[in-house]
């Protein structure tokens, strides 16, 4: 028996580290060709070296909608289809509003909101076309956050706002695309060990102060693979996944 995504093509944004890297690996493990998008080319090339022919490297800033559109067009031109889009690239800077740099707020909006919009916009027609093919289904999965459901403290201000925004967009998209057999899913992780959390000291702080066992990126990749490998009749709309001990 073949793997469950044999013959399909997936795009993963933010594939150069953390959850995106783990997701790219997991989708490739299911047989998908995975187009790896991020800014750090050398990190993407290292992953592509591991995945071999089943992957391609696209150095792109997701905040640059034209560059994203070119990358998606390139993927479809090379491979003829696009079945799965994983909107994962993200940036978080958790500091109180007072004293925050406006540029940090703008970066979060550019990457977490405009990045998702630009990538989805570029992929939409290709996904709808893939869903009319033999497989009969296509998927958009967006990586939101627990912070896309609730505001767990003042410092998550703009990060939470961006994740709430993509949650709303994703729900509207789900309502529109179901009859076209393009499933739209939202994954909402709690704390995961990655550059995002370690760079802020959040991972270390959570473990030290709350005796919290962090999740690993592969835990979120598992949730994404679950979503995109359901039978055509079943759409998993939302997965909220926290470390067992995480209270908020």
Q: Closer to ligand NAP at the Cβ: 124 or 146?
A: 146
* Residue 159 a catalytic site member: yes
User: Minimum distance from CB of 76 to ligand NAP (Å)?
Assistant: 19
Q: By the criterion CB under 6 A, which residues form the site for ligand NAP?
A: 13-14, 16-20, 38-40, 43, 61-63, 88-92, 111, 143, 145, 189, 191-192, 194-197, 217
Nearest-angstrom CA–CA distance, 91 and 89: 7
What residues contact 162, with CB distance under 8 A and at least 6 apart? 108, 109, 112, 113
Cβ at position 196, least distance to ligand NAP in Å: 3
Closest to ligand NAP by CB, 8 or 90: 90
Residues in a beta bridge with 182: 138
CA 178 to chain centroid? 20
Q: Which of 63/236 has CB closer to ligand NAP?
A: 63
Q: Rounded to the nearest whole angstrom, what is the least distance from the CB of residue 14 to ligand NAP in the complex?
A: 3
Q: Which is nearer to ligand NAP, 82 or 186 (CB)?
A: 186
Closest CA to 85 of 62, 51, 53: 62
Q: Closest CB to ligand NAP among 5 and 113?
A: 113
Q: Which of 91, 105, 159, 169 is catalytic?
A: 159
Can you tell me the distance from the alpha carbon of 211 to that of 214, in angstroms, rounded to the nearest whole number?
9
Buried b (16+ CB within 10 A) or exposed e, 160-184: bbbbbbbbebbeebbeebeeebbbb
Nearest to 75 by CA among 10, 136, 133: 10
Name the packing angle between helices 115-131 and 157-177 (round to 10°). 20
Q: How far apart are CB 233 and ligand NAP at their closest, in Å?
A: 29
Task: Report the nearest approach of ligand NAP to the CB of residue 162 (Å).
Answer: 8
What does DSSP assign to residue 84? Answer: E
In Å, what is the CA distance from 89 to each residue of 21, 63, 109, 207, 231?
10, 10, 12, 24, 27
Residues designated catalytic: 159
């Amino acid at each position: 028996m073949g793997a469950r995504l044999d013959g399909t093509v997936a795009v993963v944004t933010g594939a150069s580290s953390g959850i995106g890297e783990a997701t790219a690996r997991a989708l490739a493990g299911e047989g998908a060709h995975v187009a790896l998008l991020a800014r750090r080319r050398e990190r993407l090339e290292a992953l592509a070296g591991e995945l071999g022919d089943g992957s391609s490297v696209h150095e792109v800033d997701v905040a640059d909608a034209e560059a994203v559109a070119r990358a998606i067009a390139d993927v479809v031109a090379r491979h003829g289809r696009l079945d799965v889009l994983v909107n994962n690239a993200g940036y978080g800077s958790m500091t109180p509003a007072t004293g925050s740099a406006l540029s940090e707020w703008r970066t979060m909006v550019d990457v977490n909101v405009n990045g998702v919009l630009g990538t989805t916009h570029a992929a939409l027609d290709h996904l709808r076309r893939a869903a009319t093919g033999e497989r009969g289904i296509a998927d958009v999965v967006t990586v939101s956050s627990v912070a896309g459901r609730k505001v767990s403290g003042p410092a998550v201000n703009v990060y939470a706002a961006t994740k709430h925004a993509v949650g709303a967009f994703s729900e509207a998209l789900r309502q529109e695309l179901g009859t076209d057999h393009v499933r739209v899913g939202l994954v909402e992780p709690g704390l995961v060990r990655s550059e995002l959390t370690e760079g802020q000291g959040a991972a270390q702080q959570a473990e030290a102060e709350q005796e919290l066992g962090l999740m690993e990126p592969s835990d979120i990749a598992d949730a994404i693979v679950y979503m995109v490998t359901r039978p055509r009749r079943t759409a998993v709309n939302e997965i909220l996944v926290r470390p067992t001990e995480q209270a908020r």
